[in-house]
């Protein structure tokens, strides 16, 4: 079935089996590729209609991040411009998909290179959640010979901090794991840089990222610790302000078994918003920029 892989990928994204905006976008591109290869559409009209259906299944899988809808919409828009009929149209669509994947992976590499320059010898760096873009920065810095330590917050409730900690320590980078609520204490004791990823950067350059990011930014500002966001421009959203972003709220049982506190309503928002005035720099594929230097 042409749409089966698309549906399965959307389900895996929803169930957090695929996480992090870049990985989600790449998985969506892969699912689109599978759909195109197995499409039996005879006409251009039929093909585009099904492609749009595939796109909306993927887009609906997680509401707060914009890289996925941006990537998928750009894909559909480019394919829709092609006048050819299948099978030529299919061939062109696959080429566009491959170019998009290349663009995303190259952006991550370039951000790694720009970001590595910001990492200095002897730094203690605090990160939150698991961001493949942040991983790229830290690994590139390590490859460049910088020597530093990384503090990973556990990142309740899903524990993406374990993924980060395991990835970095396997790379040879000295890594510490801390519970989320220990972040302020370590920041008071000598964190030199807070580095996070982004799911969306809104019109006014607010950053939507994993819940807990905004409190790290508040503490960083108070303690005068630079707060950096590593993000592909694919995550820029010129259509929404922070107030207009729907913050995904996930099931209560991700936090606690429901029968443990039967009379308590558990809330589980998974992203929050950090305003531009708390962000020192954005590390993007266009360079390391202050919020005021970015055009969204």
Of 103-132, which residues contact ligand RUB (CB under 6 A)? 129, 131-132
Q: Please indicate whether residue 60 is annotated as part of the active site.
A: no
Q: Any idea what DSSP says for residue 86?
A: T
Q: Which stretch binds ligand RUB (CB under 6 A): 15-23, 30-38, 70-78, 275-283?
A: 15-23
Of 135-164, which residues contact ligand RUB (CB under 6 A)? 160
How many CB atoms sit inside 10 A of residue 100's CB? 22
Select 39 or 132, whichever has its Cβ closest to ligand RUB.
132
Q: Which stretch binds ligand RUB (CB under 6 A): 77-85, 169-177, 185-193, 195-203?
A: 195-203
Select 56 or 105, whichever has its Cβ closest to ligand RUB.
105
Give how far Cα 22 sits from Cα of 26, 165, 216, 235, 278, Å: 6, 18, 22, 9, 24
Show the tokens assigned to 22: 């870049």
Q: Which of 60, 109, 121, 129 is catalytic?
A: 129
Select 26 or 219, whichever has its Cβ closest to ligand RUB.
26
Give the list of residues 6+ apart from residue 229 with CB closer than 8 angstroms, or none: 195, 196, 197, 198, 201, 207, 209, 274, 279, 281, 282, 283
Q: Which of 61, 107, 124, 133 binds ligand RUB (CB under 6 A)?
A: 133
x/- contact string, 254-273, with ligand RUB (CB under 6 A)? ----------------x---
Does the protein bind ligand RUB through residue 20 (CB under 6 A)?
Answer: yes
Q: Any idea what DSSP says for residue 225?
A: -
Does the protein bind ligand RUB through residue 209 (CB under 6 A)?
Answer: yes
Q: Please indicate whether residue 243 is annotated as part of the active site.
A: no
Which residues would be at the binding site for ligand RUB (CB under 6 A)?
19-23, 129, 131-133, 160, 197-199, 209-210, 270
Q: Which residues are known to be catalytic?
A: 129, 199
């Amino acid at each position: 079935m042409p749409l089966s892989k698309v549906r399965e990928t959307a389900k895996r994204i929803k169930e957090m089996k695929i996480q992090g905006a870049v990985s989600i976008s790449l998985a969506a591109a892969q699912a689109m590729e599978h759909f195109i290869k197995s499409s039996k559409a005879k006409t251009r009209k039929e093909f585009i209609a099904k492609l749009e259906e595939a796109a909306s299944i993927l887009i609906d899988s997680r509401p707060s991040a914009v890289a996925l809808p941006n990537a998928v919409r750009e894909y559909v828009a480019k394919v829709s411009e092609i006048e050819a009929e299948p099978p030529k149209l299919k061939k062109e669509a696959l080429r566009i998909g491959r170019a998009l994947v290349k663009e995303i992976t190259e952006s991550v590499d370039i951000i790694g290179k720009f970001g590595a320059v910001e990492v200095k010898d002897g730094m203690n760096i605090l990160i939150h959640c698991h961001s493949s873009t942040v991983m790229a920065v830290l690994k590139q810095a390590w490859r460049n010979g910088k020597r530093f330590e990384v503090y990973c917050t556990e990142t309740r409730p899903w524990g993406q901090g374990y993924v980060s900690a395991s990835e970095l320590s396997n790379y040879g980078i000295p890594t510490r794991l801390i519970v989320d609520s220990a972040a302020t204490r370590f920041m008071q004791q000598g964190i030199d840089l807070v580095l996070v990823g982004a799911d969306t950067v809104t019109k006014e350059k607010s950053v939507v990222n994993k819940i807990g990011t905004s409190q790290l930014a508040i503490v960083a500002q108070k303690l005068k610790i630079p707060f950096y966001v590593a993000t592909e421009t694919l995550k820029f959203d010129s259509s929404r302000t922070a107030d207009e972003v729907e913050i995904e709220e996930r099931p209560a049982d991700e936090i606690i078994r429901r029968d443990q506190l039967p009379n308590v309503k558990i809330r589980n928002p998974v992203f929050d918003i950090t305003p531009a005035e708390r962000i020192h720099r954005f590390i993007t594929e266009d360079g390391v920029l202050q919020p005021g230097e970015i055009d969204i």
